[in-house]
Structure 1
Amino acid sequence: MNTVFINEKLTSGVSLIAEQLPNFHSVTVGIWVGAGSVTESPEENGISHLIEHMLFKGTKKRTAKQIAVDVDNIGGQINAFTSKECTCYYIKVIDEKLDAGLEILTDLFCNATLDATELEKEKGVVLEEIAMSNDNPEDAAMDLISSAFFEGCSLSKTIIGPPENIKRFSRDDLVSYMQRYYTASNIVVAVAGNFDEQTLKDSLERHLVDVNKNTLELPAFSDCGGFSAQSGFQVNKREIEQVHLCMGMPCFNIRDKKRFALNILNNVVGGSMSSRLFQKIREEMGMAYSVFTYPALYRDTGMYGVYAGTMAGNAEKVTEMILNELTIVKKDGITQDEFLQSKEQLKGSMILSLESTSSKMSAIGKALLLTGSVYSDEEVLKMIEDVTYDEVMEVADYCIDLSHLTLTGVGSISDEASLKSIVKLSGAQI
């Protein structure tokens, strides 16, 4: 059966994207805002994430506890997350509780009090979250590769922000930021599950009324369209057992149709258990528990990344093996068998990942907000199927670019010069 999409503007000016899934008995609703670390000035870094926390701390009619109790009373699940380019607040309920769930979600989104006393308490929670993230070397490694690779671009900032910013933020700071970015033209409501179209629209028109109508003016610093990656090398020395290595190379933006060819390539190189890097470094050599590649694609630019966690004594060898495999793929390509297998794996993974209303909501909401286009499952599967071998090789040539490699490491790296020499011997420039 063909996908049924509802894609229109509500009276409030908010965009609605909804997918009817009549065989489900649940509905997930997400309110997406085009605000994240990229829309923050350095002095504001971390404020999007703090606001996400604060919207759950009470509204004009509900305390923080009452929000939780009301969600539990309808058997729902409510949560939120912040990324570099967006923030999402969502609720999942059984289909017959959709209106009740919408009322709770829109209440916290539109009517949060941002109480100053609660803000001071929640700052402590976020500071604990920052400390927890800093204590996690894999998190630190991911933050380091972003800051090093995207240096000079707004994508270099962390999502969670520095502690000194969190401590300084006032209620007025939060209100000012929301007035600028929590505007109707910068909001998408995404819905996936079993619902009646007219009932859904009526419910949204009734509950989503107190929306900011200010004109959105994105700051100049949030535009990474002119970003040009430079070679780089950074180390964060820590006395821990493992070295967490990350590599970044230039890539295209999230709207580029070549992303489907990239996903096929990624499965072969390091995006699956049968991938070359996983089989070589973990299965054959036993030198890593976790090793993978990943595309990090954004509105204006992107990065093709590699991660490996390995014992300090193996860091140079693992680096050498990764760079060697990347060089082979760029020079000789992948096999036809790898190409066909990866296609099937990608199609299967996509279908399995979307067998929930939460995953569906996330896919269509993010797509509309960040790309302006939403494709049905059938269209996506066809676009994957239509990718040619030559297109995958073109992407490999573009995204595996050792002349613009950024290498970072977190851990007990005793000899930086030796690690650099391994990279240079591969022909990479850092």
Structure 2
Amino acid sequence: MTRLRHSGPPTAGRFANRVLLAAAATALSAVVAVVPAAAMPVHAPAFGRPVAHNPDSTQRADQVRDEQWQLDKLGARAAWRTSTGSGVVVAVIDSGVDGSHPDLAGQVLPGLDLVAPNGATEPDPVGHGTTVAGLIAGRNDDRRGVVGLAPGARILPVRVLDAENRYDDALIVAKGVRWAVDNGAKVINLSLGGNGDSAALAAAIDYAFARDVVVVACTGNLATSPEAKVWYPAREPGVIAVSGLERNSDNLWNGAITGRATVLTAPASGLVGARPPGGYWRVQGTSFAAPLVAATAALVRSHYPQMSAGDVVNRLLATAKDIGPTGRDERFGYGLVDPVAALTAEVPPTYANPLDDNDPPGVTGFGTAPGSATTGDPDAEQLGLTGPRQETQWRARAAGSPDDAGSERLWIGSAIFVALLTGAALMVRRFRQSYR
């Protein structure tokens, strides 16, 4: 009776088996092909892939320089005919900066370590901040290594990220911002962020705005974020929130977080960066798009030394290359930052930061992150802070990741393969049983 329900001969069963296996193989290929390159979490500090480099090899040094595709994308050489960022101090609030790296020798000012105040064994144990600094102000006096988009600028390093490339209290970031402002920074780069807001950091950023400083922050990476919401402090009104583009493309990098708060975009993948103590690695992430915008701000501030920070911000927005829907949009903001246009275009003055709503921060003064204040904290007492406790934790982290996710894709592909193979085997078994 069972056989009467099937019209095909036994050979049809073998044919069906082959069809099922072929379908499983095809599905596996299709699924693996669409797995995002940055789909799996990346454990800091391993966010870069080393690049072989022999400091004594001119050929290798030229190759590192030639692989800096972002310089051509942003018209760096044309921009340098007008400005190199000379005289401008850019604060890199990050994991520290190794000023002994050959590409940064003479470019880095004495800074501050808020993680190990008594001195760390290494100026940048992670390497993230050194890469960011090199993208901003790497030397351009020879053909070796990485050159920054603003090679005439100087870097003011402030270490706020620990050896895990993160920090759990926004207060340390806020302290770093305030210290950088007080020590001459005209541009601040924040290639870090978290999902929760921080009134303390908001107050510190307002302190920067009040003292004529441009603040740039990354929008964040999907691979290191529990939700696809633009990170804070990039969401803070007045901050230039930077998302990232794919290599040699006007397409958004597939690991970039973006949204209504996004202001500008810049190259974010396929980048070669300086790695302590003297090497290089490939990196990707909005961490490395933000410094390209910070460098552009330095170019403009150097060329127009009397221009207010608000007008510098407005100039970057007004001259951006619109690469999404017409006007500002949630994916690209105002578009791709354009250093040449920012330096040369006619832009009417505004005398105010068009991104700033001018509202006061949630807490008057400068203090601990909401929810993290502890009774008897000497720093809190000294600064006289009384923050609300509605926020349980604020976690800062860097938005950098490996530019080679082959192992992650292989792991995902293997899991999918096992699942498909198991399903196909069960289907074949049931099909065969139906002929018995």
TM-score when normalising by structure 2 = 0.25
